[in-house]
Amino acid sequence: MRTLNRLGAVLGAVLLLSYSAHASEIATTAKNAGPASSAAEQRAALIAHGKYVSLLGDCVACHTADKGAAMAGGRALVTPMGTVYSTNITPDRETGIGRYSFEQFERVMRHGVAADGHNLYPAMPYPSYSKISDDDMRALYAYLQHGVLPVHERNKPSDMRWPYSMRWGLSPWNWVFLEGDAFKPDPKKSAVWNRGAYIVQGLGHCGSCHTPRGIAYQEKAMSDAGSNGRYYLAGQTLEAWRALSLRNLWTVEDTVRVLKTGQGAFGTVTGSMVEVIHRSTQNFTDADLLAVATYLKSLPPGTDDIAMPPAPARVADAIPADLFSTRGGLGYVQFCVDCHRQDGKGVSEIFPPLANNQTVASADPTPLLHVALTGWKTPETAAHRRVFTMPGFARLSDREISEILNFVRTEWGHVTKPLAANDVAKMRAELNVKVTDTSKFDTPRFADMLARPNAQQLVRGMRLHLESSTLLPNNVGDALNCTSCHLNAGTVADGSPFVGVSAFFPSYAPRAGRVITIEDRINGCFLRSMHGKALAADSADLKAMVAYFDWMKRDTKPQDKVAGRGVGKVSMAIKPDLENGKRIYAQQCAACHGRDGEGLKQADGRFIYPPLWGDQSFNIGAGMARTYTAAAFVKQNMPIGYRDQFPLGQGGLSDQEAVDVAAYFSHQPRPDFPPKVNDWPKDKKPADARY
């Protein structure tokens, strides 16, 4: 349920003013206020305090429906007993809480009883809210009444199964399980520890997700104190996500970083926690982040603690030995390497590492399976404005997913129990995953090359496309690889794929003014896109590349139309706006290709993503140097990690945006191509050619 997965929502005991006035006295001057302090200033400060409390409590998350008005309710909160819809908590007097007195507001917050006397379901975490201090409760009330715009939106009735639909049963539930005690500081602990405990146990209601539930769906403990305290924050599985045990999980510094940015030393947050980071925890003061992390770090392992394993001590420095010789390894190469890299290290602050990733290493595969089937995205935070996504891979078969995950878990997680295809099938059914991709493009599978008699040659041909600059240093004169333009080594629809291509050669090439072979076409890329030298006609490597093309030809005939072939087209009637192109580049491209088009490198100097201009980029004779060719490629394939398009989250810009940004980077300085004087000897030169 959406009230779950909360890692501490804060309020401000040490940082803001304390108020003890009754709700009817909010607008009056506080007792002992200085002479320069007006009633209006006091009221404004109280509302500001309440807004902070609301942010730290993440009220907007539960009480805002998808595409709905803020705080107007209507969000479905799914529980094992049925669905509850969040209520309108704007100050609208008819449909919201505009008529609530402070006493009524306090009763609903601490006891789960609405103004008309009906009991709320504990999807509203009032058992935790009962710990909120009076000062913070009054500030929150002031904010909701005077700092939020009223919205006229009627509440939706709950849809709970019988007998849970009978609300009278909540009264005895409250009598048994609602402690109702205000937070009591531990005098033996520091002020920082107590602050963190107050946040986590109270308004943050972290236990709603991270504490195991009892037979009546009650949290087994509401704090770390008492005989049941060993259950508190010990972790549980909710909606096929693993809510981690928060007890002594990471270092204080790591926890602060995760809550502030959504990214930690061993990966990024997933599931509902993405939204919690975005809406709530990134807004914590540094003091509150430190307090939460200090408290969580102090908790010893609990009973039935569902803890994450420690990060493997080994740091992955080398490519796995079986990366190119197993089905799982080749599946990883095809669908994962572009973001997570061959060594599993990911891309710093963009795509998470899989090597030394605690989720990968966990014996419980639930979160990993969930991500693989439904996808993932980074939270939007002040530290990381650009959201990166991973699409769901439900289009792959259960066998393929299990093979890839077993490879990842064995190589970088040291997990001994393998996943079966049936495990994937069960999770697919539990999540009710629907494949919405209607593309007719049939992605060839690298893993299938292993069954061919010339498997070794085919794998070599694929690797020459994937690692051109590394494997062919004498032929590649810049930082590009074939896969830079032919995504995933030519297996992505509309990403200039190789599927069926060799069936169309020999063919007439207008730029050459003659009929060319597939070998000529390959060498043309080495001369232009990779600003290098042609492969010898009789070389084993050229033959391997051609064999790879022929493997992907399948039964394609010269007269056939192959779905997803090429990169599409963008109208040349669209006029570029270079200033807008520069803005789009900075917003969407610079993270991977560098602020000045210089590309992105690893610590050892090797390129992760290629430069788009300069001496190490494609030369002026390359097709990508043409504005509208580049625009078509960008339209279909860039940025990666931008939406849920299979398999790279690619595309998403409009035609105009694609033209703007393509014109911007294609006309930046780049190497010359002297043989350009021989191009288009018989045919009309394209209008967007650079020469």
User: Does the structure show a pLDDT above 90 at 205?
Assistant: yes
Q: What is the CATH T-level fold of the domain 191-298, as seen in this structure?
A: Cytochrome Bc1 Complex; Chain D, domain 2 (1.10.760)
Confidence of residue 10 (pLDDT cuts 50, 70, 90): very low
37-79 confidence digits (pLDDT tens): 688 899 999 999 999 999 988 999 999 999 999 999 999 988 8
Residue range 16-20: average pLDDT? 28
- CA distance linking residue 111 with residue 588, whole number of Å: 47
Least confident of 234-243, 602-611, 644-653: 234-243
Q: What is the pLDDT of residue 1?
A: 36
Taking CA atoms, 123 is separated from 2, 126, 205, 231, 583, in Å, by 8, 8, 11, 20, 44
Taking CA atoms, 315 is separated from 182, 322, 357, in Å, by 46, 17, 11
Residue range 478-497: average pLDDT? 97
3-state secondary structure at position 160:
strand
Q: What is the pLDDT of residue 188?
A: 96
More confident residue, 301 or 532: 532
Confidence of residue 32 (pLDDT cuts 50, 70, 90): very low
CATH for 578-678 is: 1.10.760.10
Confidence of residue 362 (pLDDT cuts 50, 70, 90): confident
Q: What is the pLDDT of residue 271?
A: 84
Query: DSSP class of residue 381?
Result: -
Nearest to 565 by CA among 486, 472, 482: 486
User: Does the structure show a pLDDT above 90 at 272?
Assistant: no
CATH superfamily of 327-431: Cytochrome c-like domain (1.10.760.10)
Q: What is the pLDDT of residue 570?
A: 96
More confident residue, 238 or 653: 653
Residue range 187-192: average pLDDT? 97
Residue ranges covered by each domain of the chain: 23-29+38-177, 191-298, 327-431, 446-553, 578-678
499-534 confidence digits (pLDDT tens): 999 999 999 999 999 999 999 999 999 999 999 999
- CA distance linking residue 557 with residue 131, whole number of Å: 72
User: Does the structure show a pLDDT above 70 at 217?
Assistant: yes
Q: What is the pLDDT of residue 25?
A: 37
User: Does the structure show a pLDDT above 90 at 641?
Assistant: yes
CA atoms within 13 A on the CB side of 23: 20
User: Does the structure show a pLDDT above 70 at 309?
Assistant: no
- The contacts of residue 478 (CB under 8 Å, 6+ apart) are 469, 530, 531, 532, 610, 611, 615, 616, 617, 618, 619, 671
Q: What is the pLDDT of residue 92?
A: 97
Nearest to 663 by CA among 607, 597, 580, 595: 580
Q: What is the pLDDT of residue 314?
A: 52
> What are the two backbone dihedrals, phi and then psi, of residue 658, each rounded to the nearest 5 degrees?
-65, -45
Q: What is the pLDDT of residue 267?
A: 81
Q: Do 578-678 and 446-553 have the same topology in CATH? A: yes
CATH 1.10.760.10 is the classification of domain 446-553: yes
413-442 confidence digits (pLDDT tens): 777 789 999 999 999 999 999 888 778 888
User: Does the structure show a pLDDT above 50 at 191?
Assistant: yes
User: Does the structure show a pLDDT above 60 at 35?
Assistant: no
pTM above 0.95, yes or no: no
User: Does the structure show a pLDDT above 50 at 5?
Assistant: no
Strongest mean pLDDT among 171-180, 268-277, 378-387, 672-681: 672-681
Confidence of residue 33 (pLDDT cuts 50, 70, 90): very low
User: Does the structure show a pLDDT above 70 at 14?
Assistant: no
566-584 confidence digits (pLDDT tens): 999 999 999 999 999 999 9
Confidence of residue 308 (pLDDT cuts 50, 70, 90): low
User: Does the structure show a pLDDT above 50 at 109?
Assistant: yes
State the chain's mean pLDDT as an integer. Answer: 90
